[in-house]
Chain A
Amino acid sequence: MKLKRDKHDSLGPPRSLSSSARAKIVGGGAFVLLVLLAGLFLPLPHSAVEPRPLETYLPPGPTYWFGTDSAGFDVFSRVIRSARTDIPIALGGVLIACVIGTPLGVILSRTTRFSEFAMRILDVFQAFPLLIILMVLVAVSGNSGDVTIIIGAVGFGNLPLFIRLVRAESMRIRTLRFVDAAEVAGASPLRVSLRHVMPNATPIALAQFSLSAGYAIVLLAALGYLGIGVLPPTPTWGGMINTGAQQLGNGIWWTLAFPAVAISLTVMSLNLVADGIRSWLMDPRD
């Protein structure tokens, strides 16, 4: 399961950000932050959790900007409020994987027999499709809507990837001359790892963090669609897509479209940030 890296990926000390890379990172990051803050703090025009049974299936209009759904909820309010659950879970979970996985990856990058063995074991863990791991962990542990379990599951599921990625990058960094120089100068292996290797492996972990967070949102949407994880009436984008899908045949599109767009824009922003970080690191080619 070795991912062959492009031979042209040269890495030195991070160059100064090109303007397009900076735009990507800032733009993407700002959007996600905006959505998250809106989800947390934006005062909503209508309640997101109190149904209004008399006002179901209203198309988008001046009162209900995104229309209403099957229970009379204002779609706009629910879309915004969903950000409060979906985004922190994704970011938090992947952050755990990143924070734990990066040092582990650096440590395991010294080619000892133990590290080879550990990687093989990790291979097996990584083989399980992430979606299935998430579903099983969350559902089996009771599906009580407890957010910490979901975050833990996301972290656990992403951990092997971060370990493997950082390890591969660290192994490459170790072949660079400045690491040699440090070792020759007598630095202990621990110091070499912490002071020299890890700082240079961190950028790629950050890029992956953003990428995985985006993927996590996609998977969380799938979980929400299946009713696993966060429970009603708390809105989630996935859950909204579920209810929205049921009315497709009747031409009611807004209940499906708006949460779908929200997910897509958020994930795209996260991918943009990852792209920006990567072009900051790699040979300027584009």
Chain B
Amino acid sequence: MLKSSPMMRYIVYRGVFIAAAALLMVSVSFFLVNAVPSNPAGAILGSFATEQGISDLNHKLGLDKPLLQRYFEYMSGLAHGDLGTSYYTDASVLESIKSRIVGTIVLIVPSLLFAWIFGTLMGGLAAVYRGSRIDTVVNVVISMLQSVPHFVIGLLGALLLSYSFGLLPAPTGQVPVGMIPPEPRTGAVIIDAVLAGDWNLVVPAAKQLVLPVLALGLFNSVLFARTVRTTLAHALESPYTEFATARGISSVGVKLMALRASLLPTVTYAGIVFANLVGGTAIIEIVFSWQALGQWGIQGIQRSDLPVIQGFVLVAGALALLAYLAADFAAFALDPRTRRAGASGVRTPVVPTGGTDEVEAG
């Protein structure tokens, strides 16, 4: 009789959840945008809006239909892969998303990695040197990073590193100044440059990435730093650290072993940070003129382009949800404690003692 392992049960449970969540997510994004009392037609027509003009436009855009009817139309359109078209440009929302999403991912992933590594480093230092001046310095730095908004970090970074010292390019977007963008295959200039074999472009394109990634990464490193600071400090005071020292393992080795034991919570937090970054890139893209999903979405928001807004909200929510799920799954899979007990084969009592050495069932 096949007993389902914890892993299998987890996957099935999560699978059902994902399906239900997807449905819910689409609905929520619809209602978020459409259930709020709004006047997109008025916004579109701007200062030339007249009563007649507004109601005509409402009719043309289908906004005068009842809410539920619009909901069902939207859902059925979605089932066919149709997310609507922009009020302003007539471009398909789905196409717009596809051509821009990679450009945003190209910002999010390096920022996440930077935040993770930098945050772990900071937290590690604070934990190892607890109570000393290094700890205080690190704590102050963490505090500051959390308090200065990411786009401000970006602007200040641009001010210092670009305008004052010329170390990095100005915030001009994905394409380096004066260079010709490559053929758009994924929508991310740096990847497209690699794909097209345009090697002259790759390094400058990478440099365009540095400032935005720094801004996002620094701001979001705080969560990792705090987590590692707490868990590592705890691990360093634990009996297994003392025992490792007692066995003659070097102080560096002991600290690394303690770090290993304290990294698991950061995996869960990586999911949260990814979701935060999805929101963060939106504004960073504006600050740095980075033509990708966030910029498109915010533009839509600013001009009440409802289908664009809906599509943007949906994608953002979906990305974030996927990140949470992936992080949760990774944390589950990487935790040795969720291995099937006995997977290593330890089952029978190994010394005849009357039963005190049974393996824990599980």
Question: Which A residues form the contact surface with B (CB < 8 A)?
Answer: 1-4, 6-8, 120-121, 123-125, 127-133, 135-137, 139-143, 214, 218, 221-222, 225-228, 241, 245, 248-249, 251, 253, 256, 260, 263-268, 271-272, 285-286
Contact = CB atoms under 8 A, between A and B. Distances in A.
B215 to A, nearest CB: 12
Interface stretch (B4-12, B45-53, B68-76, B151-159): B151-159
Interface string B3-46: 00000000000000100110011001100110011111001000
B159 A6 contact: no
B278 interface: yes
B230 interface: yes
Contact of B287 (A141, A245, A267): A245
B279 A132 contact: yes
B192 interface: no
Contact of B312 (A6, A120, A132, A251): A132
Contact of A268 (B143, B152, B156): B143
8 contacts: A2-B328, A123-B321, A241-B151, A253-B159, A263-B152, A264-B147, A267-B148, A268-B146
Interface in B134-183: 143-144, 146-152, 155-156, 158-159, 163, 170
Contacts of B287: 225, 245
B159 A248 contact: yes
Contact of A127 (B155, B170, B275): B275
Interface in B273-306: 275-276, 278-280, 282-283, 286-287, 297-298, 301-302, 304, 306
Most buried by A among B265, B282, B283, B313: B283
B38 A129 contact: no
Contact of B148 (A120, A130, A142, A263): A263
The main secondary structure of chain B at its interface with chain A is helix
B58 to A, nearest CB: 15
Contacts of B189: none
A256 B302 CA distance: 23
A272 to B, nearest CB: 8
B340 interface: no
Most buried by B among A127, A251, A285: A127
A266 B147 CA distance: 8
Contacts of B155: 241, 245, 248, 256, 260
Interface size class of B (residues with CB under 8 A): 35 or more
B347 interface: no
A135 B298 contact: yes
Nearest to A265: B147
Most buried by B among A129, A225, A285: A129
A221 B280 contact: no
B321 A131 contact: no
B144 A264 contact: yes
A6 B38 contact: no
A130 B38 CA distance: 20
Contacts, number: 164
Nearest to A250: B163
B279 A268 contact: no
A241 B275 CA distance: 25
A248 B302 contact: no
B309 interface: yes
B54 interface: no
Contact of B230 (A6, A121, A266): A6
A266 B21 CA distance: 37
B123 interface: no
Nearest to A270: B147
B324 interface: yes
Interface of B: 17, 20-21, 24-25, 28-29, 32-33, 36-40, 43, 130-131, 143-144, 146-152, 155-156, 158-159, 163, 170, 230-231, 233-234, 265, 268, 271-272, 275-276, 278-280, 282-283, 286-287, 297-298, 301-302, 304, 306, 309, 312-313, 316-317, 320-321, 324, 328
Contact of A285 (B24, B233, B278): B233
B24 A124 contact: yes
Contact of B147 (A1, A137, A253, A263): A263
B268 A129 contact: no
A136 B158 contact: no
B313 A128 contact: yes
B57 to A, nearest CB: 16
Contacts of A264: 144, 147-148, 152
A241 B154 CA distance: 12
Contacts of A228: 301-302
Contacts of B131: 286
Given A6-B230, A226-B283, A256-B159, A121 B148 contact: no
Contacts of B159: 248, 253, 256
B302 A129 contact: no
Contact of B286 (A7, A120, A226): A226
A6 B231 contact: yes
Given A133-B32, A139-B304, 7 more contacts: A127-B321, A129-B275, A129-B276, A129-B279, A135-B298, A141-B37, A264-B144
A136 B152 contact: no
A225 B25 CA distance: 28
A253 B158 CA distance: 12
A1 B328 contact: yes
Nearest to A211: B146
B320 A241 contact: no
Contacts of A222: 149, 151, 283
